[in-house]
Structure 1
Amino acid sequence: MPAVDLVAGHLELTGRITTASNATFLGEIDGVAVVYKPIAGESPLWDFPDGNLAGREAAAYLVSESFGWNIVPRTWLRDGPMGHGMVQLWQDVDPEQDAVDLVPADSVPESGWRQVLEGRDENDRVVALIHEDSAALRRMAVFDVIVNNADRKGDHILAMPGGHRHGVDHGLTFHTEHKLRTVLWGWLDDDLTADELAGIDRVSEQLAGELGDALAGLLTPAELAALAMRCDRLRTDARFPAPAGEMPAVPWPLF
């Protein structure tokens, strides 16, 4: 069977994800399932420039590849039925797994999970936001700090069979100002591992070469400089950061 041309092959739409804040479609390229987000369907935002969320998603994939942790599914830019946009390989998640959850506050597991916060649900019951205490999610949290992810919701973490975790929806990334909003605060002030530090080093080194050249077509010089500074700062601190600034530390809704 010949290889599928994911860039130039025919993109056929098969459905729409109506819960997304921007126009998001399901599609196929010669039988390969994908997600397609046309730039024309992006909603304007007060704090991000118009028309470049797709480029930020593509940039997030390139940084993910430099980490070497396979966090972001393959993502690229191409034309489609509604114009130029972002395309990403569809992922079939394990419906029996949840990497992030809301549980009664008195039922937080004693091990294997980290608690982020407590609150009250629509029935005024006290609940806790928790996430897995896993190497896969730790890596995603490190990635989010580096790309300055302003929207790491629980549903943006895909629980894959076998324990792997993919992160998706990276349009709100790479801002020059601190924007980190995430549900993955469970390792606050914990030291980074040697593997996590090595991942940051790989990104820093590649920013001076091919990665930097590729990102130059997707991000501004100021955004690239801020990305390099976040790598340097996190490498020097060598621990998970605390929330900072006046913005909420978690996205809303959480899922």
Structure 2
Amino acid sequence: MSDLVLLAQGRMELLGLIRKSSNSAMLVEVRLGEDSAWAIYKPQEGERPLIDFRAGLHRRERAAYLLSECLGWGIVPATVVREDGPFGVGSLQLFVEHDPGEHYFTLYEGAPQTHDALRRIALFDCVANNADRKGGHVLRGSDGRVWGIDHGLCFAAESKLRTVVWDFGGEPVPEQLLHDIAPLADTAPPELADLLGAREVAALQERVRRLLEHPVLPVDRTGRRIPWPLL
């Protein structure tokens, strides 16, 4: 059974609240037949109102997964929108087994073999206009794979890039990654576009065009485009 089928159709049982989350996030177990998995449930009902993002951050969580998949990068764990969650509509994302002591900073400093994956996350955040890439939003799974999570503050039409991943700034974007993003300059996948506003889709395409014209990872010359807390 695929992870997406399990997440979309499985019965959800609440296991606990993720206490450090700024919006309500809950650990759940999802069961369908003989299959089960842990997942993170983020209901719209538990969102704090924001002045620069409209309600419904779960749609952006799903959109980030779709973007990752259409690029073929596999950065974001399987994510669906569930209308029938215990607290109403929200996103449901497969839980990644990982060492909580590892995060972006420990990987960058102590695991140079992950740098290609981290560089890909840096470009992903530029395309998605991620306004909240904290160090703890980068995980290394128990299998060694590097993941990015928490994408509710992505895809704004206005430039809002805030991230801790500035170590690759000024580097040329690898040719293969430019090849991967190039189709988005003209067309966004319909399911992705359906989750965002028309201005947000147009802005995504414009960001891709700029990267193709000037294929260099950005540099934060202000020193202020960093989320808080860092983890």
Structure 1 residue corresponding to 2:46, chosen from 41, 48, 59: 41
Question: Over residues 31-61 of structure 1, what are the superposed CA-to-partner deviations in whole Å (9 max), with x where a residue is unaligned?
Answer: 2111000000010112111x22110111111
SS at match of 2:212: helix
Amino acid at match of 2:219: A
Give the RMSD, CA atoms, in angstroms: 2.5
Q: Considering fraction of residues, name the structure with more helix.
A: 2
Q: Output the CA distance in 2 between the equivalents of 1:162 and 1:2.
A: 18
How far the C-alpha of 1:202 sits from its partner, in A, is 4.3
The answer on whether the counterparts of 2:114 and 2:146 sit within 8 Å (CA) in structure 1 is no
Question: Over residues 149-168 of structure 1, what are the superposed CA-to-partner deviations in whole Å (9 max), with x where a residue is unaligned?
Answer: 00000000011234321000
The corresponding residue for 2:79 is: 75
Q: Does 1:14 align with 2:18?
A: no
The corresponding residue for 1:151 is: 132
How far the C-alpha of 1:243 sits from its partner, in A, is 2.8
Q: Does 1:135 align with 2:111?
A: no
The corresponding residue for 1:173 is: 154
Q: Output the CA distance in 1 between the equivalents of 2:11 and 2:28.
A: 10
The answer on whether the counterparts of 1:200 and 1:231 sit within 8 Å (CA) in structure 2 is yes
Runs of 4+ residues over 6 Å off in structure 1? none
The corresponding residue for 1:253 is: 229
The corresponding residue for 2:29 is: 28
Q: Output the CA distance in 2 between the equivalents of 1:168 and 1:204.
A: 24
The answer on whether the counterparts of 1:66 and 1:206 sit within 8 Å (CA) in structure 2 is no
Amino acid at match of 1:23: S
Aligned-residue identity in percent: 42
SS at match of 1:21: coil
How far the C-alpha of 1:133 sits from its partner, in A, is 6.6
SS at match of 1:29: strand
Amino acid at match of 1:251: P
Question: Over residues 14-40 of structure 1, what are the superposed CA-to-partner deviations in whole Å (9 max), with x where a residue is unaligned?
Answer: 111011000100001112111000000
Q: Does 1:223 align with 2:223?
A: no
The answer on whether the counterparts of 2:7 and 2:94 sit within 8 Å (CA) in structure 1 is no
TM-score (ref. length: structure 2) = 0.89
SS at match of 2:230: coil
Question: Over residues 74-119 of structure 1, what are the superposed CA-to-partner deviations in whole Å (9 max), with x where a residue is unaligned?
Answer: 11101200001000000001356443149xxxxx96x966xxxxxx
Amino acid at match of 2:22: S
The corresponding residue for 1:86 is: 91
The corresponding residue for 1:119 is: none
SS at match of 2:195: coil
Q: Output the CA distance in 1 between the equivalents of 2:167 and 2:227.
A: 15
Q: Which has the larger radius of gyration?
A: 1
Question: Over residues 143-202 of structure 1, what are the superposed CA-to-partner deviations in whole Å (9 max), with x where a residue is unaligned?
Answer: 000000000000000112343210000000101111000010011111111122122124
Q: Output the CA distance in 2 between the equivalents of 1:46 and 1:133.
A: 36
TM-score (ref. length: structure 1) = 0.81
Q: Output the CA distance in 2 between the equivalents of 1:2 and 1:40.
A: 28
How many equivalent pairs are there? 225
Q: Output the CA distance in 2 between the equivalents of 1:86 and 1:112.
A: 31
Structure 2: gaps (5+ residues): none
Q: Considering fraction of residues, name the structure with more strand.
A: 1
Structure 1: gaps (5+ residues): 103-107, 114-131
Q: Output the CA distance in 2 between the equivalents of 1:138 and 1:10.
A: 37
Q: Output the CA distance in 2 between the equivalents of 1:33 and 1:60.
A: 20
